[in-house]
Structure 1
Amino acid sequence: MNRDRAAALGREPHGSSDDPDLLDFSANTNPEVPDGVERVYRAAFETARTYPPEPPAAFRAAAADYVGCEPEHVVPTPGGLAATRTAIALAVDPGDTALLPAPSFGEYGREVRLRGGEPSFVDAEDILDADPRGHALAVVCTPNNPTGTGYDREALLAFAERCRAADTALLVDEAFLGFTERESLAGTDGVVVARALTKLFGLPGIRAGFAVATGDLGAALRGARRAWNVSAPALATGEYCLRQREFVRETRDRVRRERERIRSALGERYDVAPSDAPFLLVDVGDRDVDRVVERARDRGVAVRDARTFRGLDSHVRVAVRRPAENDRLLAALGVDGKGGGETEDGSRGDDADV
């Protein structure tokens, strides 16, 4: 990594509000956590007084069982972004190009630039039809952030095959895949899968995740991983969460129901993209995005200004939370969640507000 290049790159904007007076719909984390997770985290204090096991076999076994791969192909990381960074660092050299979706997670482009590479952006809806030849790396985010697009597995596998033929590494970011019934690409030759516990299990501060890769890619990821790179409490908590199948099922059901309810209500006055993710991308049309964000904040709700994503200029992104919380979101955006009509304050008719 070049020092001057790193110093010149700014930070990518992200969602999340630390204002305790706001209900946060700007970040895409589950508002629920598995029962018993705090007990597991606290119990791990004693194990934190010694170095974590190397390799962390129990965590790898739980992760492998969760995504359906062999434990030796799992590379534990402190969050999904760490898995993404390592994969990009191993694939991209100075002067290389990387095929990236847009709009999508901004860290992909930042990591490519940190390595001296150049992003080659393709519309996220068309990424699986792009030609990977000549690129060191291709990236797919499924479901895509912020559009919510979930890609067909057979189309993903066909794209992975074309990447292998082109000698192009493929990184598939599955940070939100756990919210769906879709099968992981973990264990597919030539593919690095990045997973995070941040989103589905509502634990962004734990910093636990993993990568999965086979063959030379897997060997490189294992070799690049620093010893003790994930803390003992994070490993214990992650192992526990990855085995909570009923929690995952209940979360998927709630998100599916509430996402469609929110989309239907917001669709009365906004253009809302279909989504397979725990969030929705909302086109506010000719309304002022700053005003939409400000008015939601005035009503106690934080939404994500999605103009920070490449190619978006009239959008906000909203997470899917619990039913009563989602009612507050809808009211803050000027609709009634029960029927899509105006809120009690009559704000539906005032486009200057929202």
Structure 2
Amino acid sequence: MRRETVASVERVPHGSSDDPAVLDFSANTNPLVPEGIERVYREAFDASRRYAPEPPAAYAAAAAAYVDCDPAQVIPTPGGLAAIRRAVELAVSEGDTALVPAPSFGEYAREVRLQGGTPEFVPATDLLDADPSGHALAVVCNPNNPTGAAYDDDALHAFAARCRDAGTLLLVDEAFLGFTDRPSLAGTEGVVVARSLTKLFGLPGIRTGFAVATGEWHDALATARRPWNVSVPALRTGAFCMRREGFVAETRERVAEERERLREALSEWFAVHDSAAPFLLLDVGDRDPAALCEAALAEGVALRDATTFRGLDSHVRVAVRLPEEHDRLLAVLEAIDA
């Protein structure tokens, strides 16, 4: 990326609150973490006095088992967004275009612009029907953020095949796929998959993730990766988390049950989008989303004003958390609506 290009690209807003007194429904991270994770993190201190293993083979093996791919296809990264940036850097040159879903995660378009490219927005619901020909990159978020919609697996593979035929890299962000039992596209030819451990394992401050790619895209990502690009504590905790199959299964079951309970309750006030993710997108109708978020925050509850997502003007997003926290959320919304 060039300094002149970067100067013209603004940052994009995100959810999350750093106030410990606030019940945060604006960020889509698991409120629970795997048992034993603190011990693993603390035990990583002694190993942190040395450089991380290079390459981090144990972490790659855990990631490969987690998404069912070959360990040699895994490129460790400090979070899913680092994987996204590196893929966009390698695919997009100045003057290129990229197919980007909307509404969706704002960083996709930003990363394309940082490389001097132009995002060509396609409705997220229609993305897999788009023609990738002539584009350097196509991006899919599965399940999509902020709508929560998950794509059909056969349709995804068909789109990946069309991208391969067109010579277009397909970047699939699977940050929330771990909350579902749907298969990953990891290991699919012509596809770079970006995975984050932030959301499912509730550890946003430990920057851990990875990319998966094959062929020339894998070789380019592996060569471009900085040595020691993921810290020892991140490697140790990340590998530990990805082996916690029981925690993953319990989280999926809880999220599915609580998401449905929350959807039914919120439907009393709002139009609620179907979701396969750990969040729900609400159309608040004639209400002012910003005012609704401000009123909830005054009661100690943070919501995500979703009007910052392209194409949304009457929406709020809420994370799926714990039953007692949902009771608090519903009580606050009832009081505001009264």
Q: Distance in 2 between matches of 1:73 and 1:290?
A: 43
| Corresponding residue for residue 338 of structure 1 | none
**Superposition TM-score, scaled by structure 2 size:** 0.99
Q: How does 1:250-289 map to 2 (within 5 A)?
A: 250-289=250-289
| Corresponding residue for residue 342 of structure 1 | none
Q: Distance in 2 between matches of 1:93 and 1:15?
A: 30
| Corresponding residue for residue 299 of structure 1 | 299
**Segments ≥4 residues shifted beyond 3 Å:** none
Compute the displacement of 1:20 (Å): 2.2
Q: Distance in 1 between matches of 2:133 and 2:161?
A: 12
Q: Distance in 2 between matches of 1:190 and 1:47?
A: 36
Compute the displacement of 1:246 (Å): 0.2
1:41 aligns with 2:41: yes
Q: What is the letter of the counterpart of residue 202 of structure 1?
A: G
Compute the displacement of 1:269 (Å): 1.5
| Corresponding residue for residue 238 of structure 2 | 238
Q: What is the letter of the counterpart of residue 228 of structure 1?
A: W
| Corresponding residue for residue 206 of structure 1 | 206
Q: Deviations over 1:160-218 (max 9, x none)?
A: 00000000000000000000000000000000000000000000000000000001111
Q: What is the letter of the counterpart of residue 139 of structure 1?
A: V
Q: Distance in 2 between matches of 1:331 and 1:9?
A: 40
Q: How does 1:311-322 map to 2 (within 5 A)?
A: 311-322=311-322
Q: How does 1:1-354 map to 2 (within 5 A)?
A: 1-334=1-334, 348=337, 350=338
Q: What is the letter of the counterpart of residue 230 of structure 2?
A: V
**Superposition TM-score, scaled by structure 1 size:** 0.94
Compute the displacement of 1:330 (Å): 1.4
Q: Distance in 1 between matches of 2:113 and 2:290?
A: 29
Q: Distance in 1 between matches of 2:267 and 2:92?
A: 41
Q: Deviations over 1:305-340 (max 9, x none)?
A: 001000000000000000000111112222xxxxxx
Count of equivalent residues? 338
Kindly report the root-mean-square deviation, in angstroms, between the aligned alpha carbons of the 2 structures.
0.8
Compute the displacement of 1:274 (Å): 0.4
Q: Distance in 2 between matches of 1:261 and 1:299?
A: 22
Segments of structure 2 that go 5 or more residues without pairing to the other structure are none
Q: Deviations over 1:115-169 (max 9, x none)?
A: 0000000000111111101100000000000000101111100000000000000
